[in-house]
Structure 1
Amino acid sequence: MLRGLLASLLLAGACADVAVKDDQGRTVSLKQPAQRIISLAPHLTEHLYAIGAGSRIVGATNYSDYPAAAKALPRVGGYNSFDLEKIRALKPDLIVAWPSGNPARQLEQIESLGIPVFYDEAQKLVQVPTVMERLGVLSGQEAGGKAAAAEFRSRLAKLEARYAGKKPVRMFYQVWDRPLMTINREQIISDVMHLCGAENVFANLPSLVPTVDEEAVITANPALIATSGEASNKVNWLDRWRRWPRLAATARQQLYILPPDLLSRMGPRLVDGAEALCQVVEQARQ
């Protein structure tokens, strides 16, 4: 009898509702931890693997390529276009999405199917580990979520302690080349810049990812210019600044290409990107 009672209690615990609030302030509630998850952004795929829920992913977007196991996941489309029929056929019990990078109309269609959706819209470094914790609850990997979040926070704290009070370095972060695009203070990379003691020269622009012209960059005269991606694809992006020898970043040879995806994805490797960015900021500071 006692054994049966314990079994019943364990079963009840396993089937208990799990619920968290997402970044749109909505409560996402499941009857039990998700067993079949579709990720609609590469950084969310990385989050799920980091917390130990990779085996529960049944579908992901085209650019979900990290870790290596993610390359074998069934594809449900790109950032801006999903195969709704394939999503339905995969029978997910949870979809994790990125409102800034996913089409609102298709997200509404997914919700109309009755599939629970968790929205991640982290805008600050301190919000990133909370995503791992909440996904840990929803996927039944609460311990893994807490452990991954703790590691992220620990590394972040070390960077904060190391670079606090350092002399600021005026910086231009180049998102795209033609048209020339950057970020304002609300974009999470700007938060990384602030952590490292870099001053975003376009922090006050109203758009999250504004378009600027070459003359505006020259007038701002940053001491450091950086972008991220494969060096073979981005070297010509920096060549345009070498044509301006009086530009402070050019004169001081402070033009950098950072490792791909580390800063552009709001996942667990963002702290790796922060470490890489802080290193080049420190070099420019010297």
Structure 2
Amino acid sequence: MPALVLAAALALAGCATHSEPPATASGPSFPVTVTPSGGKPVSIAAQPQHIVSLSPASTEDLFAIGAGPQVTAVDKLSDYPSSAPRSDIDAFKPNVEAIAAKKPDLVIVYDDTNNVVAGLTQLKIPVLLLKAASSLDDAYGQISLLGKATGHQSEADRLVGDMKAQITDVVAKTPRKSLSYFHELSADGYTVTSKTFVGQVYGLFGLHNIADAAGGAGDYPQLSAEKVIAANPNLIFLADTVCCQQNASAVAARPGWGSLHAVQAGNVVALDDSIASRWGPRVVDFARAVAAAVQKAG
């Protein structure tokens, strides 16, 4: 599987309708204009009440800041929270007509596949292109932007503050150890470098990524089994447990992998695929999983 396709897949039930939240005298002020990182300003005339999200990470953000009741449809990969109104919309092959049929007053996408941004803009539907976060600050910025775009700025600011405080606390309480790691996206060797959002989370704990020295194309290189074995990482994190049923036993059974430090010491860590690939509020859970593995490792 090509690395870019794999990375996008890891970044990403009928349609339910939610009632509109009651207006209040101190409600949000519209119109507003928001500008995604690296993008163009987007004007939103009134507080959106029919949001369509084609980004699993943004879906999590929306519900975490209290905009869930305004979300009327999400793509089929937006599986968290369970109350999100999943539809048959495919974020990898977005169809402008199918999206427009949901009668949205705001659409959020993570990629401009099939020229979906231009198509929706032509229909005068505001669309926010929020690409995969490249850092924690980028993730925080997207939450703040969604807060402004949906009328939940104070809730978004509160969430960002809580996330920062929790991650800072987790990192501070985790002992610094000189440990190397391999983050597995798929059993055929696709991984991440320290330049990615995921890699930067590991970097908070001072861990050394074997992919940085092993070489490969781009930020999502494919490492051969021989390179992983030669690097002999102290920790192996599996982000393919749900999609591909990988676990510690499966790793130990691979030719040559049984002798690795991580396998011998019981430091093969099973992660939830979606938590380990999305840049939403559950990155705090990802940080805690890394911290627990570091504390356990010798």
TM superposition score category, shorter chain reference = 0.7 to 0.9
> Residue 113 of structure 1 corresponds to which residue in structure 2?
123
> Residue 97 of structure 1 corresponds to which residue in structure 2?
109
Aligned residues: 269
Confirm or deny that 1:80 pairs with 2:89.
no
**Secondary structure of 2:73 counterpart:** strand
Which string of whole-angstrom CA distances, capped at 9 and with x for unpartnered residues, describes residues 119-141 of structure 1?
Answer: 22311123222211110110011
Structure 1 position 255, deviation (Å): 1.2
Which string of whole-angstrom CA distances, capped at 9 and with x for unpartnered residues, describes residues 215-273 of structure 1?
Answer: 11112111111113339811265234574343222232221212342111111111111
Confirm or deny that 1:25 pairs with 2:36.
no
More helix by share: 1
Structure showing greater Rg? 1
Give the fraction of aligned pairs with identical amino acids, expressed as a percent: 27
2:202 to 193, 202, 221: 193
| Structure 1 stretches of 4+ moved >6 Å | none
Measure, in 2, the Cα distance between the counterparts of 1:157 and 1:123.
19
> Residue 277 of structure 2 corresponds to which residue in structure 1?
264
Measure, in 2, the Cα distance between the counterparts of 1:14 and 1:163.
40
Confirm or deny that 1:233 pairs with 2:245.
yes
| RMSD over aligned Cα atoms | 2.4
Which string of whole-angstrom CA distances, capped at 9 and with x for unpartnered residues, describes residues 134-175 of structure 1?
Answer: 1011001112111111111111221232247x1221000000
> Residue 3 of structure 2 corresponds to which residue in structure 1?
none
Instruction: Assess, with a 3 A threshold, how the Cα gap between structure 1 residues 208 and 104 changes in structure 2: closer, same or farther.
Output: farther
Confirm or deny that 1:173 pairs with 2:183.
yes
> Residue 80 of structure 2 corresponds to which residue in structure 1?
66
Which string of whole-angstrom CA distances, capped at 9 and with x for unpartnered residues, describes residues 168-190 of structure 1?
Answer: 2100000011x321011222110
Structure 1 position 113, deviation (Å): 2.9
Measure, in 2, the Cα distance between the counterparts of 1:51 and 1:261.
19
> What pairs up with 1:120-131 in 2 under 5 angstroms?
120-121=130-131, 122-131=133-142
**Secondary structure of 2:91 counterpart:** coil
Measure, in 2, the Cα distance between the counterparts of 1:49 and 1:268.
10
Structure 1 position 206, deviation (Å): 4.1
Q: What one-letter code is carried by the residue in structure 1 that aligns with 2:219?
A: L
Instruction: Assess, with a 3 A threshold, how the Cα gap between structure 1 residues 248 and 155 changes in structure 2: closer, same or farther.
Output: same
> What pairs up with 1:134-153 in 2 under 5 angstroms?
134-153=145-164
**Secondary structure of 1:202 counterpart:** helix
The gaps in structure 2 that reach 5 residues or longer are 1-24
**Contact kept in structure 2, 1:14 and 1:32, CA below 8 Å:** no
TM-score (norm 1): 0.85
Measure, in 1, the Cα distance between the counterparts of 2:86 and 2:217.
38
Structure 1 position 31, deviation (Å): 1.6
TM-score (norm 2): 0.82
> Residue 224 of structure 1 corresponds to which residue in structure 2?
235
Q: What one-letter code is carried by the residue in structure 2 that aligns with 1:263?
A: A
The gaps in structure 1 that reach 5 residues or longer are 1-9
**Contact kept in structure 2, 1:18 and 1:137, CA below 8 Å:** yes
Measure, in 2, the Cα distance between the counterparts of 1:254 and 1:133.
36
Measure, in 1, the Cα distance between the counterparts of 2:99 and 2:243.
35
